Amino acid sequence: MSVCFEKVGAEKKKMDQVRVIQEIVDEHKDKMPTGVVTDVLDQCQKAYNAMSNLYKLTWTVVKSHAQVHEDHEGDESPFASVELSDTTQTLIVEAVGLDRLNDRHSNCRDLINHGMVLKSYVKMSMPTVMKFGSDMVIIHSIVPYNPHKRAREE
């Protein structure tokens, strides 16, 4: 998982640098020609958008397990019941191509657990449900990750 956090950290640092340029231009825009300000800010936004390959993914993993119960009413035969447990998480993931699937990351769930999601999943309608062995995965949403939404003054 640390590799994922390093990638997110490096991407965030690049995005922060573009944001600093945008703020400097905003501070000094009254001393610059309007066309230059517009062009510089547009190019900064394009750079910011191009760098961002990160998404916020919200999913629920539902696992099943058997629970053995002893009957306390005199019947000596134990019985089993299947119970479900769920975990919902929101993660920051990087959109990657099919080339990232390998022996280590053989399916969507493995990729997500390692901070990645297939680019094709970003375009899927949500929510979507998948089954992996006895577990069920519900992907609620995948939306672009923007840690610094800027509110510009008009």
pLDDT one-digit tens code per residue, 50-89: 666 789 999 999 998 887 877 666 666 777 888 888 889 9
Distance (Å) of CA 106 to CA 102, 138, 146? 5, 18, 28
Q: Are residues 31 and 59 in the same domain?
A: no
Both 96 and 59 in one domain: the answer is yes
Phi, psi of 76 (to 5 degrees): -85, -10
Q: How far is CA 64 from CA 41, 52, 87, in A?
A: 51, 36, 12
The total of structural domains in the chain comes to 2
Residue 154 lies in a domain: no
**Residue 113, domain extent:** 54-144
Question: Model pTM greater than 0.85?
Answer: no
Averaged pLDDT of the chain: 77
**Sign of the alpha-carbon dihedral angle for 49, 97, 138, 93:** negative
| CB 72, CB 61: distance < 8 Å | no
pLDDT tens sequence across 122-147: 989 999 998 887 788 999 999 988 76
For residues 124-144, one letter each, b for 16 or more C-beta atoms within 10 angstroms of the residue's C-beta and e for the rest, the string is eeeeeeeeeeeebbbbeebee
Q: Is there a single domain that holds both residue 63 and residue 136?
A: yes
